Chains A and B, each alone.
Chain A
Amino acid sequence: EAGVAQSPRYKIIEKRQSVAFWCNPISGHATLYWYQQILGQGPKLLIQFQNNGVVDDSQLPKDRFSAERLKGVDSTLKIQPAKLEDSAVYLCASSPVGYPGETQYFGPGTRLLVL
């Protein structure tokens, strides 16, 4: 079974530029999560989708971050414009159903550096 795929693996941009990350979850998984992991911190949930609907986006900085999962499968996370403090690893995860505590399967992440 293929795991969660993410691209790109690395991205370097200048502040005020835009960037987009892509995630393809495990086939059949209804729930998709985007996390931000700043160096030295644990992952922090940005947004959770159940199929193509948003379950929780309370920690998403909506003035600059947006995410979509239009067909309930893959997803994109966009930052526009980027700030220095957005430098982090962006992790995508998926789970079969989405109940709290359900095992989440993580992708390798996209490491973003904003200069």
Chain B
Amino acid sequence: DQQVKQNSPSLSVQEGRISILNCDYTNSMFDYFLWYKKYPAEGPTFLISISSIKDKNEDGRFTVFLNKSAKHLSLHIVPSQPGDSAVYFCAATNPRNTPLVFGKGTRLSVIA
């Protein structure tokens, strides 16, 4: 049973445009969400996070939006750059009793 779902395995976007990566979760106890980015042959690196008390968190070109009622979050990258091409993992946790749970990832390709 997948608790964190990334339903788009891949996404292609033109350089300079917006990339939107989506993530859904089923466990209503999750209250902290993170996005990690992974390049080939490297480990994932932390990108941005959001607590359930917020609905938006912004860091430079990266913004994460959280819709608790829909159990949905999204990562916006504006403007997209070729160096953003990587696999993006959505992850969720509940400080009380669950470890970090990752989605399957979405491979983003930014085309110059």
Contacts and interface: CB of A to CB of B under 8 A. Distances in A.
Nearest to B47: A103
A69 B43 CA distance: 21
A106 interface: yes
Nearest to A42: B102
B95 A100 contact: yes
Nearest to A40: B104
Interface string B34-74: 10100001111110010000000000000000000000000
B100 A100 contact: yes
B43 A101 contact: no
Contacts of A100: 32, 93-95, 98-100
The majority secondary structure among interface residues of chain A is loop
B104 A41 contact: yes
Interface in A62-115: 91, 93, 99-101, 103-109
A105 B47 CA distance: 11
Given A56-B99, A100-B100, A109-B43, A42 B105 contact: yes
B44 A43 contact: yes
A45 B44 CA distance: 14
B95 A108 contact: no
Contact of B89 (A43, A101, A109): A43
Contact of A101 (B34, B44, B45, B105): B34
A4 B42 CA distance: 11
A56 B101 CA distance: 13
A51 interface: no
A48 interface: yes
Contacts of B89: 42-43
